[in-house]
Amino acid sequence: MNERFSLVDRQVPYLHEKQIEREARFLLDEYELKFERKVTAPIPLEKITEFQLQLTLEFKDMKSLFPFADVHGAIWFEEGIIGIDQSLNPDENPLMLGRYHFTLAHELGHWCLHRHLYKENPNQPMLFEDGVRVPDVVCRSSERKKPVEWQADAFAANLLMPKPLVFQAWAEHHDGDDQPAEMATLRPASADKSFSLRGRLATTAEERDAAIKEHYAAPFAERFSVSKEAMRIRLEELKLFVENRPRLLF
């Protein structure tokens, strides 16, 4: 397969987190208007993809398409196709449901945030050996820190775990208490427990803290149908884990 000049190689305009949050919220607002129902967790991602945006979702063997092994998703703007690696198909691998949702939401981020870049600077189509056009965006885990990928990740987090719904779920889980959880309290309560993080034993203090947070985030991850890791990161972003809560004088 020939190399393709992709969005990752282009100068991607800076987007503030608030701008990305607004774009995700706009997509959810459009859904509510179109289908006349309020969005609740878990977010109806496939319905948004196929019926609201009119995109085609396909599971593909990415390892056979690309010469690298870390491709989880890709998008063909002109054809309106989102490809997800077949290893994330939740019908065949139920444990991958959370990763599948985040990958799909990530690709929707490219569609909503970056499609105009492709339209402004279309490339000469390049083809695989079977004549199928090479995708416009190829998402690799090794390129997660690049601006175009960070923006799509931020969009995915805001789409799957909207701030108002997360705060609502947090308060409901804590019987109306919307205060953040204290790590100074969670650590001692977990002192005699072993935790794993990303498939291996958490040994360092930093790893244990992340694992403790993911254990605490588990019911929220289930509610939003995302991975515990994604939920933990979102709760951290929303400052729902703190070292100590401020103490009131009275």
CB 45 within 8 A of CB 130: no
Distance CA 13, CA 161 (A): 24
- For residue 249, give Cα distances in angstroms to 16, 38, 113, 152, 244: 37, 41, 46, 43, 15
Q: What is the pLDDT of residues 51-85, one digit of tens each?
A: 999 999 999 999 888 877 789 999 999 899 999 99
Query: What architecture is domain 7-160?
Result: Orthogonal Bundle (1.10)
pLDDT digits (tens, 9 = 90+) for 137-169: 888 776 667 888 999 999 999 999 999 999 999
Domain residue limits, the chain = 7-160, 164-242
Phi, psi of 113 (to 5 degrees): -95, -30
Are 237 and 157 in contact by the 8 Å Cβ rule? The answer is yes
Instruction: Reply yes or no: is the peptide bond before residue 122 cis, omega within 30 of 0.
Output: no
pLDDT level of residue 124 (50, 70, 90 thresholds): very low
Q: Looking at the whole model, is its pTM more than 0.85?
A: yes
